[in-house]
Chain A
Amino acid sequence: MESRLHVNAASEGGSSSSPQLPDHKLYPIDANGIQLMLGGMASAIALVSPRKSLNIYDSPVKYLTVTATVLFLYYAILAFAGIYCFKVPTTRRKSMSTGARIAAVLYMGVATVVASLAISLGLVLFGAPLASQHAETFMAALNMALLGVTPAILTLKPSTEAWVKALLSGESKSVPELWAAGLFWSTFVASWSAAYFIPLDWDRPWQKWPIPTVGGAFLGNLAGLLYVLLCCFVLPLARADYAETEHSKRTMVRELSGSLPQSTAKKEM
């Protein structure tokens, strides 16, 4: 599964007028992709609001199963369509065969389940009850895996170095790596922090296991999504915009002064 395209002005080349200009069209605002993502998120959020029949306080396992199903379907669709991050590469959609797509979906599913088992082990080690509430612990782990680990599964190569480089090292990351790392860390750090509410004696219904942990994961994922949107999408666009403006300003100045100094064109990206 090839998914590390370093989205860089130099490598993409393509339809830009001059190789030095950053082409912000490289960050495609492909309507289908965005709509798909936003729709998925919206339906997930709609489910988060408690209804009479499906309530996280009364039947956490049932509720978490529904959420997990929605998330899984959402990511399955993404994997099937070959979409990841915010980029919809025009080339790839034609090149992948149906078999390859289904393989991608299966890989995502299996890897998610493996990750959820590891996470449930982690939850138990951090204090989840061992002799009871197995279903709750597993469903919480499955949801956390779907929220935090599946983006990384979709984006990163299945090798230890790629994962360590993306998630654990402090080097500068490409956009897909940033997406994976941002969602991973925001989900797990928020879930970890929410555990502080469990020993408090407020006696609220949402302090029972596993609600704080998985609720923190959802909220963290939302925050991470916004952050990643900002980093991968808004900021590069703004930078490209600024670069283009600067370039056109400089061109105007040159034309007005009538001379053309060598090598003053600055690459902003």
Chain B
Amino acid sequence: MQGRRLCVLVAILLVELVGLGYFIKGFFPYKKSIPGFATRQDLPWDIKQAASGGSSVMNAPVVAARYDRLVIMLVDALRNDFVFGNNSAMTYTQEMLRSGNAVGFTAKALAPTVTMPRLKALMTGTVPNFLDAVLNIAESDTSSSLKYHDNLLWQLKNHSNKTINMFGDDTWLRLFPDVFTRTDGTSSFFVADTVEVDRNVTRHVRPELERGDWDVTIFHYLGLDHIGHLAGPNSPLMRPKQKEMDDIVRDAFEIVSKQDMERMRRDPSAKPTLFVLLGDHAMNEIGNHGGNSQLETSTVFVFLGQGIRSPSLAKGSDVLSRLLTTEVPQINLVPTLALLFGVPIPKNNLGMPLPELLASYGDSERLRMLQVSAHQMFGVVRANDPDVREVTLAEAAGSVGAPVNCEGESTSDVLRCKYKRALAAHRRFAVSGRGSAGRVEREYYDFMVHANEHLSRAFSGYDLGAMFTGMAIIGAAAAALVVLCQASDRSGGIFSTKTWGLRVSIPTAALLVTYLISIWSSSLIEEEHQFWYFWTQTMLALRVLTSTTAGDALRTVLQMGLFRIIRAWNQTGQKWTGEPDIRLYLNSSHSGLMWILVVATVLAVNVAAHRLHMYVYPGPCRSVIVRRGGGRSSAHAAGAMAYRRDAEEYGRRVAEAEQTRVAVLYSGAGTAGLRVLMVTQRVFRAVVGYASFSALVYQMDRNHGWRELGVSEGLWSLVRLSVPSDQAQIARLVYLCTALALAAGVACT
């Protein structure tokens, strides 16, 4: 019977793995990314080149960089209305926008709106998936680094030999190992701190910028995000923080502007600095982010620098309200910065350059930049659909003529046609001056927008069929498992019915069904702990109702009471997280009680472990221990491990213990070995007890618990003497004893 059950369980496990495989196949889309890093070889040919003489990239023109230094100020969870809204405290930034000295956008981030995937997107221009959100939490994970993926920082460092510094969230350090010269990473995990985490960054702003030996500096501020999580976007902490960020913008920009004047005076070939204020994602009404809602994905770009002028139409007092609705995709930052700094665009980028920032270039330069950008995107299209052929210069030159309507069977054909059409229009304008620059621009953007849509959908589209197949398989396996497990449930009465020859327990079925339904509600997922609290009490209450003795019922009610206390201990979740809980009382006004409880818990755990330890070993060893431990009472305790309600089971176990005891008593087998085992056990228990005692003393010492309890200083120092100060030693001792005890147990069987 046992063997058959085991076989069925293994079969169910295999079926579940198959279902999991299907689900993963559908959930993690296949994304073909181009390996390697972009170089000058990847630039397209000169559009004016003669079509006959073979396309050569050796003399491909490069548009000169407009800037040579970059300051990125990334404020985590900066929503667009924090900068552009009426309630914003960022007066300097708003003034710069109104006067036309800065260009602003609402940058739309894609889900998952969590820092690491957004940083990846901001630097590589790719569309990440949910796996990145999972890896966001794994602090020490290095598999998500962009060491082997083409990104903007790599290009700036290796193509233009720029020195890059970073101060702020240490996620950057994990994503870009070996890129930064000077860093000061702050951990982003402790959300409770909203002041120090930014001061750690701000203390570097003035000194680092004034040093002048940098080319790219990144400041990543976490305070705003922490305020959002803690108190929400409308809390009184928000406006002072915005003012703080605004002051940083002003200070940093003024320093670099002054430095620029100096630099350009001394060296005529020096170029100004570009200052970018942005956010990686935004926040919703309660300060959280991660999803796809409008509020969570509306972050900002603000560009400041010499030569940045907003178009004349976008000046005036109502420019800010218009900026709230001027939406651009966030990944457009990548090609924009790459083109402004004259570095190759990262190979897997899906963004387009922002036209407002290219407005100050001449026509031929601007069109060249767009050609470069379109060429790069066409490369991504080709990488994902090998059937798409390269568009040669001859082809582009040959199709100069009447405009063509791009219809095709597959999207790849349409994209190729649009790209060719844009190149043709560009060539016509460049060679013969016919057409207009605006027209060529429109063609290029038409192609790039379409390519972006197509590729984004391909990269983040889920294969729903595979996902549903997987879920159905896993669901069937889980249902089979449930039926198997509770088919032997003996509690009858009105709580179980017989369906299709199987006994089904109604509460279990109700639990499963309601749990599956609760998954569809986001608030029941956030408050899932309430679900489990409720169901635990329900099951215990049903146990009270079906218990056979009054003592049993009372014991279960006591369990319910204890569980209620556990429930009130620490408030979590979203809705009621601010409610007072026992932890609050213990930490603030009743810390003496807390320490008493700590000591009592350590004692209770030790006593329970001592008693439990005796019954860990199966077979003859246990019964010997039972015998040495003291006959009848130990047998009783052994029986206590069984279901108390089931009198027969209990009686059977007691009889079994007695029987083995008698057998061993008369067998006389290996008494010496057993004696060694007994000694090992006692030593083990003693060491574990000592280890927990020393851990307790260590904690009480560190947190001054002894003062709360009123223990005198002298007495405490005596206690401290009996305990070693190096906790690692004790841990090692415990590991050693555990290994010995396990070995003894194995030898015993």
Contact = CB atoms under 8 A, between A and B. Distances in A.
Contact of B493 (A124, A168, A185, A196): A168
A260 interface: no
B537 interface: yes
Contacts of B574: 201
B541 interface: yes
Interface in B557-577: 560-561, 563-564, 567-568, 573-575
Contacts of B561: 125
A122 B540 CA distance: 11
A199 B493 contact: no
A201 B537 CA distance: 23
A184 to B, nearest CB: 11
Chain B CB count within 10 A is highest, among A167, A185, A199, A201, for: A199
Nearest to B550: A160
Interface string B515-535: 000100101101100110110
A205 interface: no
Nearest to A188: B541
Contact of B514 (A124, A170, A196): A196
B538 interface: yes
Given A126-B534, A192-B538, A169 B567 contact: no
Interface in A124-174: 124-127, 130, 167-170
Contacts of A110: none
A225 interface: no
Interface in B39-66: none
Given A126-B537, A127-B533, A168-B546, A199 B524 contact: yes
B465 interface: no
Contacts of A46: none
A185 to B, nearest CB: 8
A256 interface: no
Interface string B460-495: 000000000000000000000000000000001110
B545 interface: yes
A126 B563 CA distance: 9
Contacts of A201: 523, 526, 574-575
Interface in A173-227: 185, 192, 195-196, 198-201
A127 B537 CA distance: 9
B538 A200 contact: no
A200 B521 contact: yes
Given A127-B567, A196-B514, A201-B575, A169 B494 contact: yes
A124 B574 CA distance: 21
Nearest to B522: A201
B178 to A, nearest CB: 45
B575 A199 contact: yes
A192 B539 CA distance: 12
B546 to A, nearest CB: 7
A164 B556 CA distance: 18
A198 B533 CA distance: 13
A125 B523 contact: no
A223 B248 CA distance: 65
A212 B530 CA distance: 16
Given A199-B527, A201-B575, A127 B534 contact: yes
Nearest to B573: A199
A189 B291 CA distance: 36
A4 to B, nearest CB: 19
Contacts of B492: 170
Contact of A125 (B518, B560, B575): B560
Contacts of A168: 493-494, 545-546
A195 B538 CA distance: 12
Given A170-B494, A199-B527, A124 B534 contact: no
B578 to A, nearest CB: 14
Contacts of A196: 514, 518, 524
Contacts of A125: 537, 541, 560-561, 563-564
Contacts of B564: 124-125, 127, 130
B541 A127 contact: no
A169 B492 CA distance: 8
Interface in B318-334: none
Nearest to A199: B527
Contact of A170 (B493, B518, B521, B573): B493
A189 B573 CA distance: 26
A185 B526 CA distance: 30
Contacts of B514: 196
A200 B523 contact: yes
A169 B537 contact: no
A154 B567 CA distance: 36
A108 to B, nearest CB: 23
A31 to B, nearest CB: 35
A224 B521 CA distance: 29
Nearest to B527: A199
A124 B541 CA distance: 13
B506 to A, nearest CB: 10
A125 B559 CA distance: 10
Contacts of B530: 127, 198-199
Contacts of B537: 125-127
Given A125-B560, A199-B527, 19 more contacts: A124-B564, A125-B561, A126-B534, A126-B538, A126-B541, A127-B533, A127-B534, A127-B537, A130-B568, A168-B493, A168-B494, A168-B545, A168-B546, A170-B493, A199-B524, A199-B530, A199-B575, A201-B574, A201-B575
5 contacts: A122-B541, A169-B493, A195-B534, A199-B527, A201-B574
Interface of A: 122, 124-127, 130, 167-170, 185, 192, 195-196, 198-201
Q: Which 10 A-B pairs have the closest CB atoms?
A: A199-B527, A201-B523, A125-B560, A199-B530, A200-B523, A126-B537, A170-B494, A125-B564, A168-B493, A169-B493
